[in-house]
Structure 1
Amino acid sequence: MTTTPDIIVKNHPSREQLEVIYDLLDKCFSVGRDFFQERLDQDTTYDPDTTWFAEVDGEIASHVQIFPLYIRVGRAILKMGAIGSVGTDPHCRGLGLAHKILHAQTNYMKESDFDISLLLASKHAFYEKAGWRLIPQTALAIKKPASLERPSSCEVIPFEARYLDEIRLIYEQFNRNRTYTAVRNETYWRDLITWPEWKRADCLLLRRDEKIIAYGIIEKKEAEQVFLNELLYLNEAEDGVEQLFHALCRLRPNARQILAMLQEDHKLYSYFQQHRATPIRINMAMWKMINLSSAFHKLQPELEDRLRGALTADQELHISLQCNEEIIYMDYHQHQLSISDTSKDDFDYTLLDVDERDLITYIIFGYHEAAAERRIECAEHAGILQVLFPKQQAVFYLTDKF
């Protein structure tokens, strides 16, 4: 006779339990125990409530971590639960432990003011069953360029911690109101340069007249394909961006292709196009809407600005937006937008019943991008959706990978 195992899902481990979790992750991943321990130990904002695990007959057998991130959507900021470090003891697989944890985490995030969730994965079917939806992105790849050697007023220097405030300000200026970028305050930056992902990359700076005007980060990997994690610059540095890019490429002598996620307004975008960039579909980012009402209340100022820019003073808009089982009501009147969980009796509402995957794509990339990707047939409401969700120059920098 077989007995049913006793399974309990918990969060907030003791230090002793956390050590057991690190040992479990060491068994599951080749990067080793220190990779996971350093990430949490070097995070001054770490909250043990975000560490979840499942016990089988009293023994820790599975783990999933939530990394709270704040991302921009225009000038609005959403709280995102980034899901990572998913590992289960090989002897306990098949019991649905990770799914049980993910279900509990979804409830926790709903109660803790999270709006959306993101995980980076290759096992799409596994996470689809838990409610996350794949939204592909496109990287550009070019043959690694020959070294660029020409006179310049700029010099390329290696990163040092004393330049941290300068690159932090470059990041803020470049990404002001840029959708999908993580909010990196001073504490985040000082933690970031101690985390394992930072150590798995190289950072170079572009300096002119003793001022740092650009920086770039390239992954530290001896492979034929290498990702440029980010390259950001001040407006005055545009003529030095290619110089910095070439210097980063020289750090990877074995690479044959350089890949990058580039917005169309990035200086390197045209450079990649001139060098016959090949688009490569990246099937990695999976999303879940955690709280529709919370998300749209935070989006309200950004959506109001978009409506003001597109509608005349006497135009009104009354929308009931439904996604899964959630519904919100959006009332735009006299240049003011209100968002509510209940309808107003005075108005006739236009119903927009939107698929979760499509809605998140609208928010992050824009309606046009979702329509092109998924061939959405919604001509009746296309005008409204294009106003609410215009195309975004959106990017998630791999430096923030979790």
Structure 2
Amino acid sequence: MEGPRSPQETEFPQVLDFLNKKLRSEASWSIAAEYPTAFSSNNLHNMRIIADEGHVLSHAVLKPLIIKSPHVIFKVGAIGSVVTDDRHRGQGLSTQVIGDCLRLASEQSCDIAILWTDLFDFYRRMGFELAGSEISFVIEENFDIPPTNLRFSTDSKVSPDAIYRLYSAHSVNSVRTIEETRKFLSIPQTKVYTAWESNGQLAAYAIEGKGVDLGGYIHEWGGSVSKLMALFSFIRAQKNQPYTIICPRHAQNLIQQLQQKPVTMNQGFLGMIKLINFDQLSAKIKRAFRAEGMPDVVLEKHPDHFVFGVGQNLFTINNETDMVRLLFGPVDYRTLGLFKEETIQKLEKVLPLNLWIWGWDSI
């Protein structure tokens, strides 16, 4: 048995075959078509396998992402496609390949790692914790909007340049290229809904589905709130059944508009997050506070605890997972009973950090 290691280029087809059989046995497409930026020759060095006599036994993949937000530019290591052959489970192989992905994330200067799973206890043993915020709206019924001169379409043949233009206007997004957007538009089971101005310019878009995942979920969208609401109304009428829109916590204008419609709102977590390079992340956060005129924010890591606060209003945080939620939420600093109101008002200028991973970037 050898590994964890990256597969050789000649092993790439074998690795994809292993993943297709274990994770996509009922799909007619390869997992590489579903995750075109994670499973490519350019990211081979971030794939991790354990093999024995030419057979893949366990796998995980790391996809580094640059996330831009108003306060901080993050480097995030997204981890996914974790699977071990049924006959070799219980031997710690998944733990080994994930651990090696975390090592790679650290070597590549990622601030944090993130993954999506329902095996919470398993990943908590490796230091991950549910954190960040995701708000979803189930559009229960049709709803009317003021008349517009928009033209709506379900044609998936949309210029990636037009999608990229609206996507780039988000206050929090991952750095992508137009070519990557083109690849994402070709992912199997992806439905594209668009709204167009009378002059032929793309006004809003919404993406539903991503291979076997996110069916019935709008996980990517762009455009002004009024144009998006018109598009969401069109989608509900077009589908003639409920569907779900996923939103980041900071999309307050859109959230307020959706709350006025016949919807069911649910608040959840962005994913399971683990701190990778705390000192690097802390320096970024303190720079953000200094830019807001607050040079006295303290965010320090000691051998067995963290120190966090403003000025002399400091507290000791013993748990790394507690620190993850303090930084990324969801947390209401007032309910903690730790900080003075003056301190809370200062902290809330930057924290919880606005972090969001759009659906096309999840792996």
Normalising by structure 2, report the TM-score.
0.82
The answer for the alignment partner of 2:32 in structure 1 is 37
Separation (CA, whole Å) in 1 of partners of 2:47 and 2:28: 16
Aligned-pair RMSD on alpha carbons? 3.7
The answer for the alignment partner of 1:91 in structure 2 is 87
* Between 154-163 and 291-300, the greater mean CA deviation after superposition: 154-163
Separation (CA, whole Å) in 2 of partners of 1:354 and 1:201: 46
> Aligned AA for 1:357?
T
SS, match of residue 32 in structure 2: helix
> Aligned AA for 2:244?
I
SS, match of residue 59 in structure 2: strand
Residues 265 and 125 from structure 1, CA distance in 2 versus in 1: closer, same or farther, beyond 3 angstroms?
closer
1:202 aligned to 2:166? Answer: no
> Aligned AA for 1:400?
D
SS, match of residue 105 in structure 1: helix
Within the candidate set 232, 245, 249, 2:236 is matched to 249
Residues 300 and 372 from structure 1, CA distance in 2 versus in 1: closer, same or farther, beyond 3 angstroms?
closer
The answer for the alignment partner of 2:18 in structure 1 is 24
1:14 aligned to 2:8? Answer: yes
Separation (CA, whole Å) in 2 of partners of 1:262 and 1:102: 27
Q: CA deviation at 1:115?
A: 1.2
- Deviation digits for residues 181-236 of structure 1, max 9, x if unmatched? 3222334323322345xx4333323323222222122237999x8322133214xx
Q: How does 1:63-78 map to 2 (within 5 A)?
A: 63-78=59-74
Separation (CA, whole Å) in 2 of partners of 1:74 and 1:264: 11
- Deviation digits for residues 243-294 of structure 1, max 9, x if unmatched? 21122223423x3343432546454422321235433244671011111122
Q: CA deviation at 1:150?
A: 6.8
Q: How does 1:336-351 map to 2 (within 5 A)?
A: none
Separation (CA, whole Å) in 2 of partners of 1:356 and 1:382: 25
Separation (CA, whole Å) in 1 of partners of 2:233 and 2:212: 17
Separation (CA, whole Å) in 2 of partners of 1:381 and 1:60: 55
Q: For the Cα contact (< 8 Å) 1:54–1:97, is it kept in 2?
A: yes
Greater Cα radius of gyration, structure 1 or 2: 1
Q: How does 1:221-232 map to 2 (within 5 A)?
A: 226-232=216-222
Separation (CA, whole Å) in 2 of partners of 1:222 and 1:19: 20
- Deviation digits for residues 32-74 of structure 1, max 9, x if unmatched? 4843233566667832110001124663200001111111242
> Aligned AA for 1:38?
A
Structure 2 residue ranges without an equivalent (≥5):
none
Residues 295 and 320 from structure 1, CA distance in 2 versus in 1: closer, same or farther, beyond 3 angstroms?
closer
Within the candidate set 177, 188, 192, 2:180 is matched to 188
Separation (CA, whole Å) in 2 of partners of 1:42 and 1:12: 16
* Between 23-32 and 112-121, the greater mean CA deviation after superposition: 23-32
Separation (CA, whole Å) in 2 of partners of 1:153 and 1:383: 48
How many residues were matched structurally?
A: 359
The answer for the alignment partner of 1:345 in structure 2 is none
Separation (CA, whole Å) in 2 of partners of 1:151 and 1:394: 34
* Between 280-289 and 380-389, the greater mean CA deviation after superposition: 380-389
Structure 1 residue ranges without an equivalent (≥5):
1-6, 333-347
SS, match of residue 222 in structure 2: strand
Residues 59 and 45 from structure 1, CA distance in 2 versus in 1: closer, same or farther, beyond 3 angstroms?
closer
Residues 121 and 147 from structure 1, CA distance in 2 versus in 1: closer, same or farther, beyond 3 angstroms?
same
The answer for the alignment partner of 1:117 in structure 2 is 113
SS, match of residue 109 in structure 2: coil
Normalising by structure 1, report the TM-score.
0.75
Q: CA deviation at 1:109?
A: 1.6
